[in-house]
Chain A
C-alpha cells in the first residue's frame, strides 16, 4: 500500500474572483503501516488534503497515486478507492442513523455488494475492534454514551476493511478518559492489522504520545514532515503559525535554559521524567 501526492495544488472557486488556494505544491509519500499525525490550525488545508486522499476532491493540478495508479484517471475505480481509504469525519456520531448498533455498522459493507454473511462477519469484527461488547450490538446507537457512539461510527468505516484509516479529530468533545480510550483502540488496531492511520488532531499531547510521524500544514503547504521530536524542536515556528508543542517540550526547554543537563527532545511525560531523574542524579 502506498499513497503518493505529486505536486498537488487545489484552488477553491477557480476562475472566480473568490479563488482561494487551499493546497500549494504538496508532495508526500505515505507508506504501509505508518501512524501519521496531520496538524495545522483551522484553515491550514488539512481537511482539503484529506479529501484528496480518497478522491472526494480532485487536484486542480498534480496527481494522487494509490498503489501506483493515478486516482484521477478516467477509468480508475473510485468506488473501490473509497472502501480502501476510509475517512472518519469530525463528530462522526452525527452520521449514525440505523435502529441498532449492528445494523448501522452493516450499512457500509452492504453497499459494497457483499454477501449477507460476509457483511455480518465484518460488522461483528469491526465492533470488536473498537471495543463494543456483544450486549450493545442490538441497542439503539442513540442510547450509547458519546465515546461509545463515536466508536460505533468508526466501526462503520472499519467494516469496509480500508487499507488506510483517516480520522478527523476523533477525540473532539470527549472527556480525558474517552480520549485515551479512543486513541488506545486506534493504536491497538494499527498494531493488529498493520493499517496505515492518519490522525488529524489539534492536540499536540495526543500526537506526541501516539504517532510516528508528523506532517504540519500551513497556508496550504507542508512545512514540517518528520519524527515528532524533530518537528517539536521547531516550537517557536509552530507557535507563529498558531500551533504549539506538547507541554513537555516547554518544560524541557526551560530546564535546559536554567542549566539542567537534560535532552530537550523529550515530548512525553515518561521521557521527561527519565531525563529529569537522570540530570539530578548526575548532580
Chain B
C-alpha cells in the first residue's frame, strides 16, 4: 500500500436554507480510487469546480469522506485520534502566500510548525535552517516576509511545511498568483524536494507546463478521475483534454498541429528538446518534404 490511498471516496457538500432544510446536495468527489506511492511526483489536473481541491483536502484530514475512506500511511483519516499524525505526514500549501504566513521574521514563521509539535528548541533551529536551505531562502531568514516577492513568500510557506518533516506535501495551485519567475522558483524548489529528499509531491495546477515532470497525472472531471497515466500518455490526448476544459503545453500543441498537417511525429512530445530532435531527424532523412502538402 502506498503513502496515500483513497478507496471509493465520495464527498458531498450539503447546502441548507435559513431554516436548515436541505436545498441541494453537490457531490464534489464521486467514487475516487487512488494509490500514491511514497516518493512519487503526482499532478492533479481538472477545470475549476472539477473537485480537485476537495479531493486534496482529504489527504490531510481537512475534510472527511461522506462515503469510502482515505488512508495516509495506513491511518484512516476518519479516525479523530490520527488527525495530528496525518497532518504531520501530509503537509499542505495553498494558493495565496499572504494567507499562510504569520511570522514577523522569515525564520520565526518557518519555526512555527515544529514549535507546535513540541520539537526541542535546538532542533527547531536545525529544522528551520535545513528547510530554508532546501527552498533556497536561507539568506532571507532574518527578513520580514512582507517584503518578499510572491514566489519567495510561497517558498517560505513550503519551508514552513517541510520543517514539520512531512513525508508528503500537497500543493493546491501554489503558482496561480505568481509571475513567471516566481512560478519557476517554486516548481524548481518542489522538484528538488521530491528528488533530493524523496518527499512525495501532490501538485494541483492549471499550468500544463508544470506537469511535464510528474511521474503520474490524474485528470478530474465532475468529481471523478477520468484520466490517469504518465504525462506523455495524458498529453497525447489533446482533443479529450480540451473537452475537459484543459489544455496541453504549447510545444505539445505545436507538435500535434504539425502532425495533423502531415509530419510523421510521435504523440505526446513534451519538451522543446524532444520536438527539435524529432524535427532534425525529419530534416536529415528528408522525409518531411514528402508529407508537406502545399497550403
A interface residues (Cβ-Cβ under 8 A, vs B): 41-43, 145-147, 172-178, 202, 204-205, 242-244, 246-248, 250-251, 254-255, 258, 260, 269-270, 272-274, 276-277, 280-281, 283
How long is the Cα–Cα vector from A144 to B263 in the complex, in angstroms?
43
Q: A175-B48, A247-B272 are in contact. Are A273 and B245 (CB under 8 A)?
A: no
How long is the Cα–Cα vector from A270 to B256 in the complex, in angstroms?
11
Q: Are B245 and A178 in contact (CB under 8 A)?
A: yes
Q: Are B179 and A276 in contact (CB under 8 A)?
A: no
Q: Does B292 contact A (CB under 8 A)?
A: yes
Q: A173-B95, A276-B258, A281-B289 are in contact. Are A247 and B180 (CB under 8 A)?
A: no
Q: A146-B49, A260-B279 are in contact. Are A173 and B246 (CB under 8 A)?
A: no
Partner of B292, one of A174, A176, A272, A281: A281
How long is the Cα–Cα vector from A42 to B30 in the complex, in angstroms?
39
The A-contacting residues of B in range 128-187, CB under 8 angstroms, are 149-151, 173, 176-182
Q: A173-B173, A247-B250, A281-B289 provided; 14 other pairs, C-beta below 8 A? A: A42-B149, A42-B150, A42-B179, A174-B206, A202-B180, A204-B180, A242-B179, A246-B250, A269-B257, A273-B254, A277-B258, A277-B292, A280-B263, A281-B294
Q: A145-B49, A251-B272, A273-B261 are in contact. Are A243 and B254 (CB under 8 A)?
A: no
Q: List 22 A-B contacts (CB under 8 A).
A: A41-B180, A42-B182, A146-B48, A146-B49, A147-B48, A172-B177, A174-B48, A175-B46, A175-B47, A175-B245, A176-B245, A177-B242, A178-B245, A202-B179, A205-B250, A242-B180, A244-B180, A247-B272, A251-B254, A258-B276, A260-B279, A280-B292
* Number of residues on chain B facing chain A (CB within 8 A): 45
How long is the Cα–Cα vector from A43 to B153 in the complex, in angstroms?
14
Q: Are B179 and A41 in contact (CB under 8 A)?
A: yes
Q: Are A176 and B272 in contact (CB under 8 A)?
A: no
Q: Which residue of A lies closest to B46 (CB)?
A: A175
Q: Which residue of B lies closest to A246 (CB)?
A: B250
Q: Does B198 contact A (CB under 8 A)?
A: no
Q: A173-B177, A175-B48 are in contact. Are A280 and B289 (CB under 8 A)?
A: yes
Q: Which residue of A lies closest to B173 (CB)?
A: A173
A-B CB contacts (within 8 Å), total count: 113
Which residues on A sit within 8 Å (CB–CB) of B245?
Answer: 175-178
Partner of B251, one of A41, A251, A260: A251
Q: Which residue of B lies closest to A273 (CB)?
A: B257
Q: Are B208 and A41 in contact (CB under 8 A)?
A: no
Which residues on A sit within 8 Å (CB–CB) of B181?
Answer: 41, 242-243
Q: Are B280 and A258 in contact (CB under 8 A)?
A: yes
Q: Which residue of A lies closest to B248 (CB)?
A: A176
Q: Are B250 and A248 in contact (CB under 8 A)?
A: yes
Q: Does B107 contact A (CB under 8 A)?
A: no
Which residues on B sit within 8 Å (CB–CB) of A248?
Answer: 250, 254
Which residues on A sit within 8 Å (CB–CB) of B177?
Answer: 172-173
9 residue pairs, one from A and one from B, having the closest CB atoms: A177-B245, A176-B247, A280-B288, A242-B181, A175-B47, A247-B250, A146-B48, A281-B292, A41-B179
Q: Does B275 contact A (CB under 8 A)?
A: yes
State the Cβ distance, B288 to closest chain A Cβ, in Å.
Answer: 4
